[in-house]
Structure 1
């Protein structure tokens, strides 16, 4: 699945006026707190390829879509769903369109009462995740993206693994939930594991989960291979303080984090379950942890980031000025109110400043991450963001304003804020 378990961290939104920024900008000293994201951006100078704005692309092709629609570019098709954010729509219809012409080629309708949660790519197919309006389990349906024919259905919330497999979670408050693995080609169930009351955590790499981590209320920890389901190792941590369930369990940067005494979280090495460090949760319930390319980042409701050394829990750096961070290829992409930057995760120091862009395309394809920038005359500059290289390549200048865009390699597909999609042929 292209977008499941996406490692994107609270990117938020940047708003800009109609400004004509230079396509190449000198580095400035980045703000302090989200230094991982901001720092990397500000230190290095980014020269944008194609500093001269290209001519407008040929006239785009309109495709009907409600406000807040979900869309995905896959196998030469534009797939559009009403989606959970659609305004005034039932969210039951998924349509496939040819690229770049936009001609409708198939239509898939969910059962009455269901609505679309998301679209993802899986093993060459299109995975449509949906949920009933009332009580009931999430359901995933794999379609042929070219024809719209149903290949298989499975109950549960999908999580794609690093090996190209897929897991389905069906949590239960009673502790009788399951996580099961399905053959992506046939939909056949390969194996399943019972879920504890507090659910499941995953050890991740850049491609997705590699291990499944289950923590029982009595403190027993089981680590299973995400591909085979085999038990890798087991051990124990202190039992839940209320003896019913842990309030908090999470795997971050090869650590197992669990809530210990009230208002604290304790980190254990996932391989040996050795106790590493403990820290207070301030404010209680208002802090969460995210992995930042090997570091442990702590976020709160106010914004900004504290980056901790995973071995000791000591504070490595703080930056309060960035809205969000996304680990990409060993670097951190920092999103601020005025710019994007690439950061060194170990120090938070800026490596490259990418400039004033609003990122888009995470849900479609992280390899084809795009940035949008407003230009005078009601136009939008679209750039291809290369985080690893610290570069932005101009893709097109489009008329109008756009919320989200996806890049097929030969066409851009963009959603208007008021609804409606446009396909712009722009070449590779």
Structure 2
């Protein structure tokens, strides 16, 4: 802290004659200058925002999962010991550590793929070792009490309920709607194809899902009621063809497994809008008001979703990684990232070499990591709209396995432990 010396104040002797105060010529300017100097010095004495870090109390083999206000740990599998899911509250103030909320047993034989919070529940999603069957166990987020356990993987739907997708090897696949509070199944729809469902989102929640049956029949269902809204037969000539579908806004896109036309249907009426012949497609995604089609091994095409007309294409090997507004994040060789304009394909800027960190929500800022020259890990926000990587911090001893929801970052350290950082911004 800086100290400003203002001099010493003394009482004048009572016998001292009165002194005439001189006229204050220039005093306001000198006072303003002293005040400005004091403010500058005091501002320099204020410490800059610091990062805080909290060690996650877990064995190196445990798996940590980040949530908006918590960290969840799943114990490693052992042949003869029980396994537990432990919930820790994130620090509420600087310097505070993680506070354990609760600890609950979980099935020992499962490989856990994720832990997340939905509708006041903590959902632990695992897959049974050897069988490949997904299973979801729901715990009360406040107490850790187990509410229910069902086969399938959950997704949230528009009215606050949960939809479970249960895919099995014996052909008894299905979609089920559960009451989150009780786990009671409200309805189920058989799903006979191994390609899985496609979902339509409204305000980030699923309101419709699409199933492709082996016969070629495509069915659109209401996700809240399970009611069949409409269907169409898309394989009148060849019942053996394997089809995948994806939903992009109001468009249903059919992606054949072989060299066959990609077909766009209107989701509302299931009427064909266009078809385009192209090489095998990995996925399609909306990009601004267009349709980005990512092919296997690169070769990005951008289409008009209304007509299927080609707007632009890039035959190179860059892969589409993410879309934010009208900007595309592309990854080339050596993890080199570039930002492109969705409308024209023009490269806006090169962001450099980064490892992209998984984030909690699709709207969370993109976070990149890379190793600095001094061995520390550089953490940056990849801002596609501004076209630059904004450096947030330099962290020591980071090994990887990071998750982010800025300003919070959860990573595994070189000694195998996990640490939660709240970064300075």
TM-score, length basis structure 2 = 0.72
Q: From 355, 358, 382, give the equivalent of 1:358.
A: 355
Q: From 51, 54, 71, give the equivalent of 1:57.
A: 51
Structure 1 match to 2:244: 249
CA distance in 2, matches of 1:366, 1:340: 19
Closer/same/farther in 2, CA of residues 143 and 393 from structure 1, 3 Å limit: farther
Residue aligned with 2:379, SS: strand
Structure 2 residue ranges without an equivalent (≥5): 1-47, 92-96
Find out whether 1:378 has 2:375 as its counterpart: yes
- Cα deviation, residue 135, structure 1: 2.2
Residue aligned with 2:226, SS: coil
- Cα deviation, residue 324, structure 1: 3.5
CA distance in 1, matches of 2:278, 2:61: 38
- Cα deviation, residue 168, structure 1: 0.6
RMSD: 3.7
Closer/same/farther in 2, CA of residues 176 and 121 from structure 1, 3 Å limit: same
Q: From 94, 107, 120, give the equivalent of 2:103.
A: 107
Find out whether 1:69 has 2:63 as its counterpart: yes
CA distance in 2, matches of 1:427, 1:89: 43
Aligned residue pair count: 367
Structure 1 match to 2:138: 142
Structure 1 match to 2:224: 227
Q: From 229, 233, 236, give the equivalent of 1:236.
A: 233
CA distance in 2, matches of 1:296, 1:82: 42
- Higher RCO by CA contacts (8 Å cutoff, separation 6 or greater): 1
Residue aligned with 1:367, SS: coil
Larger radius of gyration: 2
CA distance in 1, matches of 2:228, 2:381: 42
CA distance in 2, matches of 1:377, 1:91: 42
Structure 1 match to 2:207: 210
- Cα deviation, residue 117, structure 1: 1.6
- Cα deviation, residue 217, structure 1: 3.3
Closer/same/farther in 2, CA of residues 117 and 147 from structure 1, 3 Å limit: same
CA distance in 1, matches of 2:180, 2:326: 28
CA distance in 2, matches of 1:115, 1:262: 33
Closer/same/farther in 2, CA of residues 424 and 255 from structure 1, 3 Å limit: closer
Deviations 1:152-175 (A, max 9, x none): 322212223355432111234565
Please show how residues 309-328 of structure 1 align to structure 2 within 5 Å.
309-319=304-314, 320-328=316-324
Closer/same/farther in 2, CA of residues 425 and 325 from structure 1, 3 Å limit: closer
Deviations 1:300-323 (A, max 9, x none): 442352333333334332332534
- Cα deviation, residue 360, structure 1: 0.9
TM-score, length basis structure 1 = 0.72
Contact 1:159 1:168 in 2 (8 A): yes
Please show how residues 4-403 of structure 1 align to structure 2 within 5 Å.
57-58=51-52, 60-64=54-58, 66=60, 69-75=63-69, 77-81=70-74, 92-100=83-91, 101-135=97-131, 137-161=133-157, 164-172=160-168, 175-198=171-194, 199-204=196-201, 207-239=204-236, 241-242=238-239, 246-253=241-248, 254-258=250-254, 263-269=259-265, 270-280=267-277, 282=279, 287-293=281-287, 294-319=289-314, 320-329=316-325, 331-336=327-332, 337=334, 339-351=336-348, 353-363=350-360, 366-387=363-384, 393-403=390-400
Closer/same/farther in 2, CA of residues 229 and 343 from structure 1, 3 Å limit: farther
- Cα deviation, residue 116, structure 1: 0.8
Structure 2 match to 1:422: 419
